[in-house]
Chains A and B, each alone.
Chain A
Amino acid sequence: MEAYRDQYATLFNNGRGVVVLGVSVDPDSTLINWFREIETPIMVMGDTDAKVSRLYQAYNETNKLDSRHLYVIDKTGKVTYKTLPFRVMAQDAYTELEAEIDKLNPPKAPPGGAP
């Protein structure tokens, strides 16, 4: 989540038209404390019963944790991109994600056009 926070402006268009929702099976209290510490602008949910994780088949029944699955959902509610797992340590994974976000939310041209 820190990587998403640090690249929020470029990756997620600074939140303009983009909502980032993290999902883990952590209890709410853990997530609340953690998010208060790291001050990230993104949102997270505690999925303690793994209902959402199972719905998206991200839940690992063996270790009882979510795998790093990532979905991009467009304005109509359709899945346009998925990566299983999202390689958090690989910069090209972020580059690819940024391209997908830009495709769905084309950056606006500056007023007056290019100099």
Chain B
Amino acid sequence: MTHARLSTLVAAAFIGLPLTASAQQPAAPQPEVGPKVGEMAPDFEFTGITRYGKLANSQKLSDLRGQTVVLAFFPKARTRG
């Protein structure tokens, strides 16, 4: 093995050492955002708006039990999607 080839291997070993060490450290678990799957959905009260206008009465999310509810947060009216 030439001196240059040996130097390259030694350098690669040094470069690789910290990478290997950091790869062995377990990643810190990220806290889950929002209610988890399997949990009860947090209840809240709201007054719905439809294409016909604002509904007369407020209701709770829990009033919708017996139906599937899709809760879709979005940033702003008239945005794509």
* Chain A residues at the B interface, C-beta cutoff of 8 Å: 1-4, 12, 17-24, 26, 28, 30-32, 34-36, 38-47, 51-53, 55-58, 63, 65-82, 84, 86, 88-89, 97, 101, 104-105
Contacts and interface: CB of A to CB of B under 8 A. Distances in A.
B69 to A, nearest CB: 4
Q: Is the interface of B mostly helix, strand, loop or mixed?
A: loop
A72 B81 CA distance: 17
B37 to A, nearest CB: 5
B29 interface: no
Given A20-B72, A66-B75, A75-B68, A57 B44 contact: no
Interface residues of B, number: 39
Contacts, number: 170
B74 A71 contact: no
B26 interface: no
Contacts of A69: 33-34, 73
A86 B73 CA distance: 9
14 contacts: A24-B77, A28-B49, A38-B51, A41-B50, A56-B71, A66-B73, A70-B70, A70-B73, A72-B69, A73-B69, A75-B65, A75-B66, A79-B36, A82-B37
B8 interface: no
Contact of B70 (A12, A41, A88): A12
B41 A73 contact: yes
Given A17-B68, A68-B81, A71-B41, A35 B73 contact: no
B33 A57 contact: yes
B48 A43 contact: yes
A73 B68 CA distance: 6
Residue from A26, A53, A105 whose CB has the most chain B CB atoms within 10 Å: A26
A114 B5 CA distance: 72
Contacts of A4: 72
